[in-house]
Amino acid sequence: MMRPTRHAPTATATSRSRHATPLALALLALALTAALLAGRAPAQGVVAPLDERAALLQDEANTVAVIESYGPSVVAVHVEVLGRAIDPFERLREQLPPQFRDFFSFPQTPDVPQRREGSGSGFVVEGGWLVTNYHVVRDALLPGGVALREGAAVRVSFPEVEGRLDVRVVGANPDVDLALLALVEPERAPAVRPIPLATDAVRVGQKAIAIGNPFGLSSTVTTGIVSAIGRELPSIGRIEIPMIQTDAAINPGNSGGPLLNSRGELLGVNTAIVAGVNVGGQAGNLGIGFAVPAELLADALPGLEAGGLSGLAAAAADPERPRLGILIAPVAGFPEAVREALGLPAAGLVVTEVAPGSAAAAAGIAGPSFAAQVNGESYPAGGDVILSADGRPVPRAEDLQRIVFAKAEGDVIVLEVWRNGRTRTVEVTLMVPPAAE
């Protein structure tokens, strides 16, 4: 008897599989494909639908939310003035040596007034007012006020509204380079959210979002951080104010636009840049921009809403304002060698001139009695140095101006005065200087 071999069952199974090969292979292929797809990303050419909202990072989603909420509240400010046409060949003509200028013929520029246009940015605040920089609208205004020059116009355009809307300049404060605008036809404006002013202290490193109209490109958004705070820079009114520094890209045309935090609150009003210059001679962003802090806007708003010019620069230009009748220079502005040679105090205001018949002259305030020569330069010496006014130190001219301009004619201001190493107290009764004949 023959025993079956040990390979017989295997041979039988193999024999059966030959008849089932197509179906088995198909099932096997499907199983392998499913396993592969479950364990790896989709094959090339297969793109899964993208959920854009879910794909946004938290910071991106925040920026989008702020722009969707307050982007429509930012306007482009268009300023038109009537002036002489600019001769585009004037600089080229000046660069040529005199002996060659007669050999070149340049097209003549018509010597007639032509319309010129500039642009900036602005934004809506509570009450329906529009805020921008004073320097954006200054060229359209008559000196000493907020009335438009003949032939000048100021208009704004909203992102979601066709055309431009006329505005009037309600008030301006050159000290902080701010102006307040009102729509002539407010019913034509879209319903937008006023941008709230931040009340929390600005912190270095926090997020900053700038919206504006750089180079005429409306509704441009850039982001960055607050790079520094308290940067003392002179404003249009020549008063140094503590600016916010940011690396959010700010370019010409961003002036007057908002710098927002991650809650959409106003950190500051974009005002100035440290500009680079391209090959065409046009200023551009270097990542160092400056904004007027929102708290200064809050302080200035009552004066802006009252109308006209406000602030120290405006008060100084008002002939009806009471004055001390002196010219002053900060001690800090004198070279250290001069301060040491004259034995000046560490801080204060050197009286460089006293007007005859003025309030200061009547109170015995004295200007320099001689000029000291230090390192070949001449400096006023021997006169009074004002250390404080009404008990407050006055290291800068604007510190004294603020105290004086807050008073009325006939009010008394108490000065602490230093002269030649001795300190005394002087009471000065303020008066309006007589009109010049």
d(CA 212, CA 157) in angstroms, rounded, equals 12
Rounded CA-CA distance 348/326 in Å is 14
Catalytic: 78? no
Alpha-carbon gap, residue 105 to 113, rounded angstroms: 23
pLDDT means per 10 residues in the chain (437 residues)? 38 41 50 47 56 75 95 96 56 52 52 73 96 96 93 93 94 96 95 96 96 86 96 83 93 93 97 66 72 96 95 84 94 92 94 95 96 89 96 94 92 96 96 75
Of residues 175, 177, 247, 384, which has the active-site annotation?
Answer: 177
The amino acid present at 12, given as its one-letter code, is T
For the chain, helix (H) and strand (E) counts, in that order, are 11, 23
Give the global pTM: 0.71
**What does the pLDDT read at residue 187?**
93
CA 306 – CA 304 distance, rounded (Å)? 5
In angstroms, the CA 81 to CA 150 distance is 8
How is 57-97 classified by DSSP, letter by letter? Answer: -HHHHHHHHHHHHHGGGEEEEEEEEEEEPP-TTHHHHHHS-
In angstroms, the CA 126 to CA 45 distance is: 52
Q: Measured between alpha carbons, how far is 73 from 190 in angstroms, rounded to an integer?
A: 9
Which among 296, 185, 223, 183 is positioned nearest to 71, based on CA atoms? 223
Delimit the domains of the chain by residue range.
56-104+111-317, 319-429
3-class secondary structure, 317: helix
| CA angle centred on 123, ends 122 and 128, rounded to 5° | 125
Backbone φ and ψ for 210, nearest 5 degrees, come out as -105, 135
| Residue 7 designated active-site | no
How many alpha carbons fall within 13 Å on the CB side of residue 117? Answer: 10
**Burial bucket for residue 345 (CB in 10 Å: 0-12, 13-18, 19+):** middle
19 catalytic residue (yes or no): no
pLDDT in the model for residue 111: 54
**Choosing from 78, 119, 121, 135, which is the catalytic residue?**
135
Residue 13 pLDDT: 39
Closest of 207, 64, 78 to residue 130, by C-alpha: 78
Handedness of CA 257, 243, 129, 192 (dihedral sign): positive
Cα distance between residue 301 and residue 131, in whole Å:
10
**Cβ-contact 298, 250 below 8 angstroms:** no
Q: Which of 73, 255, 310, 388 is catalytic?
A: 255
Query: What is the rounded distance in angstroms from the CA atom of residue 184 to the CA atom of residue 148?
Result: 14
Provide the CATH topology of domain 319-429: Pdz3 Domain (2.30.42)
- When computed from its CA atoms, the radius of gyration of the chain, rounded to whole angstroms, is 35
For position 92, what pLDDT does the model report? Answer: 47
Q: Give the CATH number of domain 56-104+111-317; options: 2.40.37.10, 3.40.50.1820, 2.40.10.120, 2.40.40.20.
A: 2.40.10.120
Q: Burial-class residue 317 by CB neighbours within 10 Å (0-12, 13-18, 19+).
A: middle
